[in-house]
Amino acid sequence: MGVTIHDVARAAGVSVASASRALSGRRKVTPEIAERVARAAAELGYQPNAVAKALRDQTTGTIGMVVPGIGNPFFTTIVEAVERELQNSGTDLLLCASQYSPQVEARRLETLLARRVDGLIISPCDIEASVPAVLDAARRVPLVQLDRYIEGGGADWVGVDDEAGLALAVDHVIAGGARSVVFAGSRLVSSSARLRLSGFERAAARAGVEVLPPLLGEFTLEWGIEAGRGLLDAGRLPDAVVCANDEIAVGLVRSLRFGGARVPEDVAVVGFDDVGHATMCDPPLSTVRQPVEEMAAEAVRLLGQLKAGDPRPAQRIAIAPRLVVRQTSRPVAAGVEG
Amino acid sequence: MGVTIHDVARAAGVSVASASRALSGRRKVTPEIAERVARAAAELGYQPNAVAKALRDQTTGTIGMVVPGIGNPFFTTIVEAVERELQNSGTDLLLCASQYSPQVEARRLETLLARRVDGLIISPCDIEASVPAVLDAARRVPLVQLDRYIEGGGADWVGVDDEAGLALAVDHVIAGGARSVVFAGSRLVSSSARLRLSGFERAAARAGVEVLPPLLGEFTLEWGIEAGRGLLDAGRLPDAVVCANDEIAVGLVRSLRFGGARVPEDVAVVGFDDVGHATMCDPPLSTVRQPVEEMAAEAVRLLGQLKAGDPRPAQRIAIAPRLVVRQTSRPVAAGVEG
DNA sequence: ATGAAAGCGCTAACAG
DNA sequence: CTGTTAGCGCTTTCAT
């Protein structure tokens, strides 16, 4: 079916070696040959076979990326950022979703490795169950973890500084007058879930406010709605609820208001991520913005370093987030934005 | 770096052919050899090189998919559906986003083709500008268009029956008492944009209601908000607005209510797609549900047929959508659902 | 500057 | 049933 470089060479009346050299331009050929080869290639509609090139070169020009799910806007945002980052490096992205299952995650890694990707960017779905597959992959190929990471180190990581982010959120609601606070997050199955809870607890303890027992479910709108209902049913509302992501926060605001509570007058709500949902929410959500572009850039940079062979201990890079005050929390003087 | 089948063969004390046969299990070998090979492979951590296999077999076991953008929940939903559909066929998906640009779309197709995908599923971003690249790709490899399609035919397509969907929406609001209607959609740069507008116009004309000039922008929340403002500023509200997708509808509802109009009492709003956003909306959005699973299944089936070589004229498969009545339109007796 | 040939890892003919 | 070998398409020595 395909037209090969042999066909081009024959049509141009030169050897395949010359054709190869002319096409790649990486080596000198007479202008005349270059011309003839170029014409032949164009006429035949020659298209280089990347598979053969990959086998020969032992490098595919692709990097694999696996995230828990592309239904979550945070992950699609970060995927887009990585794609943009890779844009001009001639590297293609092979994107996979693990669907929040360590089994399919392991399978995905396996096929990515079999396809000989030059590197891997992964947000492991489970802090424990993902360990073997991720470590194994890291042994075979440059790998950096983005956002979520696995226990025990051994592989590079770049993500947001959750601790700092939660401190930002907690201090903000307290500055707005909150005396009792609660955390609405996810069960502690990922690093993000754990770090955000502990960051919240630390900040709240430091401030000396009352802390209600955390509400732990999923990183979803549905769970946010449920958590809001739970709060209403409990009879007494906290002054503020800090959420582990925006989807939870949006759901929470919805059910709180549906139940008659005013946001932010009766209870302040702050989210985390600031991708998409936050501005869509009514009223617009105060949240902690993850520095997605920087995270993606850093991950790609790290991957490049690893590829270069540069041996060094595993790195962890935590990038500082930023508070974005909108309308679900009481403003404190300056800093309000749309 | 990698351990090859030669290493395995040597370690097992057999020829590469036997090793290959034992590993693939596609041909008889003595149990003893099978055993020895299996052990050697396990001990060495052998992992087959898919690149070499692809070159040898002239088939990669991958299909490429290109959609305008993964930021749009409709496309992520359909990508997930296609992934699920492919799950058990041993075929991997190479996902690309064209970012709504015919240029990057063409480039993406080019590299997918260079990587020798076995087939292509594409939602062309532009009904006109996407034509050459898509047609060229279709000439080289089995290709089916999903959702959007290009002008002029020549390639298979599966999508929703837009005409029927818009008729459903229009008839519904009219049954609810609407006497004047308007369409809020996208500029006519894609097949979906065009078909939905014409479907709306036809259904409205058939019903004999008053039709205001259509509002055409983007398939985004922002445009929905703007369109809603425009409607308010115009002084007189229509009884119903039918939207080309849910994001527009959500934005529209938001700005209409913000401007003091009651939904659905003053104006009914109906969306299109029913993925994610619709239930998140407050109040929950009445909409036309795209049969995403069926569309994905059909696309994969068609692709399989094409691969089988089965020559036949290009097919267009339009699947009937379903109306989902929630709370942004007045119900008509039965059929309300969550 | 150009051409002949080796070889990337794999599988399927083809012999034995 | 097993082993030897050719060849998928490409790039790069190695000679010329």
Q: Is the distance between the Cβ of B56 and the closest atom of strand D smaller than 7 Å? A: yes
Beta strands in chain A (DSSP E): 62-67, 92-97, 119-122, 143-146, 156-160, 180-186, 210-211, 215-217, 240-243, 268-273, 286-289, 316-319, 322-324
Q: In the prediction, which pLDDT does A26 show?
A: 86
Per this entry, what is the length of chain B? 338
Q: Is the distance between the Cβ of B115 and the closest atom of strand D smaller than 7 Å? A: no
The mean pLDDT value for A44-50 works out to 96
Top-confidence residue, A88 or B184: B184
C11 nearest neighbour residue (CA to C1')? B56
Same domain, A301 and A154: yes
Q: pLDDT, tens digit, for every residue of A246-287? A: 999 999 999 999 999 999 999 999 999 998 767 777 789 999
Same domain, A177 and A279: yes
Q: In the prediction, which pLDDT does A335 show?
A: 40
Q: In the prediction, which pLDDT does A1 show?
A: 61
Q: For the full predicted model, state whether its pTM sits above 0.85.
A: yes
Q: Which residues of B are less than 8 Å from A48 in CB distance?
A: 114
Q: Is the distance between the Cβ of B10 and the closest atom of strand C smaller than 7 Å? A: no
Kindly state whether residue B57 falls inside one of the protein's structural domains: no
Per-residue b or e along A69-104, where b marks 16 or more CB atoms closer than 10 Å to that residue's CB: bbbbbbbbbbbbbbbebbeeeebbbbbbbbbbbbeb
Q: Determine the Cα–Cα distance for residues A300 and A295; give it in Å rounded to an integer.
A: 9
The integer distance in angstroms from the CA atom of B304 to the C1' atom of D7 is 28
Same domain, A183 and A251: yes
Instruction: Report residue B63 CA to chain centroid gap.
Output: 15
User: What is the maximum span of chain B, computed from C-alpha positions, in angstroms?
Assistant: 87
End-to-end, the C-alpha distance of chain A in Å comes to: 56
Distance from CA of B297 to the nearest CA of A (A): 19
Say which DSSP state A325 is in: B
Check pLDDT > 90 for residue B308: no
Cis amide prior to B311 (ω within 30 degrees): no
Kindly state whether residue B328 falls inside one of the protein's structural domains: no
Check pLDDT > 50 for residue B301: yes
The integer distance in angstroms from the CA atom of B220 to the C1' atom of D14 is 61
Per-residue b or e along A110-127, where b marks 16 or more CB atoms closer than 10 Å to that residue's CB: ebbbbbbbbbbbbbbbbb
Q: HEC string of chain B?
A: CCCCHHHHHHHHCCCHHHHHHHHHCCCCCCHHHHHHHHHHHHHHCCCCCHHHHHHHHCCCCEEEEEECCCCCHHHHHHHHHHHHHHHHHCCEEEEEECCCCHHHHHHHHHHHHHCCCCEEEECCCCCCCCHHHHHHHHHHCCEEEECCCCCCCCCEEEEECHHHHHHHHHHHHHHCCCCEEEEEEECCCCHHHHHHHHHHHHHHHHHCCEECCCEEECCCHHHHHHHHHHHHHCCCCCCEEEECCHHHHHHHHHHHHHCCCCCCCCCEEEEEECCCHHHHCCCCCEEEECCHHHHHHHHHHHHHHHHCCCCCCCCEEEECCEEEECCCCCCCCCCECC
Residue by residue, DSSP assigns A50-75 as HHHHHHHHT--SEEEEEES-TTSHHH
Same domain, B275 and B298: no
Minimum mean pLDDT among A120-129, B4-13, B25-34, B126-135: which range?
B25-34
Same domain, A146 and A236: no
Q: In the prediction, which pLDDT does A330 show?
A: 87
Per this entry, what is the length of chain A? 338
pLDDT interval class at A332 (50, 70, 90): low
* Count of the separate structural domains present in chain B: 3
CATH number at residue A300: 3.40.50.2300
Q: Is the distance between the Cβ of B20 and the closest atom of strand C smaller than 7 Å? A: yes
Q: In the prediction, which pLDDT does B93 show?
A: 93
The integer distance in angstroms from the CA atom of B247 to the C1' atom of C10 is 49
Query: Which among B48, B55, B276 has CB closest to A51?
Result: B55
Pairing of strands B180-186, B143-146: unpaired
Same domain, B248 and B272: yes
Tokens encoding B33: 């050899």
Q: Determine the Cα–Cα distance for residues B124 and B303; give it in Å rounded to an integer.
A: 16
Check pLDDT > 80 for residue B113: yes
Tokens encoding B9: 């063969």
CATH number at residue B15: 1.10.260.40
Check pLDDT > 70 for residue A333: no
The mean pLDDT value for B182-210 works out to 97
From residue B222, give the alpha-carbon distance in Å to each of A247, B189, B190, B252, B254. Answer: 19, 18, 19, 9, 10
Kindly state whether residue A326 falls inside one of the protein's structural domains: no
Tokens encoding B198: 């014409």
The mean pLDDT value for A116-132 works out to 97
Mean pLDDT of chain A: 94
Same domain, A170 and A284: yes
Select from A164, A170, A241 the least CA-distant residue to A207: A170
pLDDT interval class at B102 (50, 70, 90): very high
Kindly state whether residue B14 falls inside one of the protein's structural domains: yes
Q: Domain boundary at A250, A269, A289, which? A: A289
Say which DSSP state A92 is in: E
Q: In the prediction, which pLDDT does A2 show?
A: 87
Could you give the angle at which helices B73-86 and B292-307 cross, rounded to 10 degrees? 50
Kindly state whether residue A241 falls inside one of the protein's structural domains: yes
Q: pLDDT, tens digit, for every residue of A156-193? A: 999 999 999 999 999 999 999 999 999 999 999 999 99
Tokens encoding B319: 């699947």
**Could you tell me the residue range of the domain that residue B266 belongs to?**
162-289
Same domain, B218 and B314: no
Percentage of the residues of chain B whose pLDDT score is greater than 90: 86
Q: Determine the Cα–Cα distance for residues B59 and B143; give it in Å rounded to an integer.
A: 15
CB A326 within 8 A of CB A144: no
Top-confidence residue, A278 or B161: B161
Pairing of strands A268-273, A240-243: parallel
Kindly state whether residue B332 falls inside one of the protein's structural domains: no
Same domain, B218 and B267: yes
Mean pLDDT of chain B: 93
The mean pLDDT value for B254-271 works out to 95
Q: Is the distance between the Cβ of A316 and the closest atom of strand C smaller than 7 Å? A: no
Query: Which among A52, A77, A276 has CB closest to B55?
Result: A52
Cβ distance of A71 and B83 shorter than 8 Å: no
Q: Which nucleotides of C are covered by protein (CB under 7 A)?
A: 1-5, 7-13
Q: In the prediction, which pLDDT does B330 show?
A: 87
From residue B49, give the alpha-carbon distance in Å to each of A137, B91, B146, B181. Answer: 15, 16, 32, 60
Q: Which residues of A are less than 8 Å from B113 in CB distance?
A: 47
Cβ-based interface (< 8 Å): residues of B facing A: 47-52, 54-55, 60, 62, 69-71, 73, 76-77, 79-80, 83, 92, 94-95, 97, 110-111, 113-116, 221, 250, 254, 276, 280, 282
Same domain, A222 and A103: no
Q: Determine the Cα–Cα distance for residues A165 and A171; give it in Å rounded to an integer.
A: 10
Top-confidence residue, B193 or A308: B193
Q: Determine the Cα–Cα distance for residues B51 and A61; give it in Å rounded to an integer.
A: 12
Same domain, B296 and B284: no
Check pLDDT > 70 for residue B333: no
The mean pLDDT value for A46-54 works out to 97
Kindly state whether residue B325 falls inside one of the protein's structural domains: no
Q: Which residue of B has its CA nearest to A79?
A: B70
Q: In the prediction, which pLDDT does B1 show?
A: 61
Instruction: Report residue B124 CA to chain centroid gap.
Output: 10
Q: pLDDT, tens digit, for every residue of B67-92? A: 999 988 999 999 999 999 998 888 99
Q: In the prediction, which pLDDT does A32 show?
A: 94
Q: What is the dihedral sign for C-alpha B84, B87, B91, B93? A: positive
Q: In the prediction, which pLDDT does B26 show?
A: 86
Cβ distance of A70 and B71 shorter than 8 Å: no
State the Cα torsion A102-A134-B54-A41 to the nearest 10°: 120
Kindly state whether residue A180 falls inside one of the protein's structural domains: yes
Same domain, B207 and B135: no
Q: In the prediction, which pLDDT does B338 show?
A: 40
Size of interface A-B (CB pairs under 8 A): 78
Check pLDDT > 60 for residue A297: yes
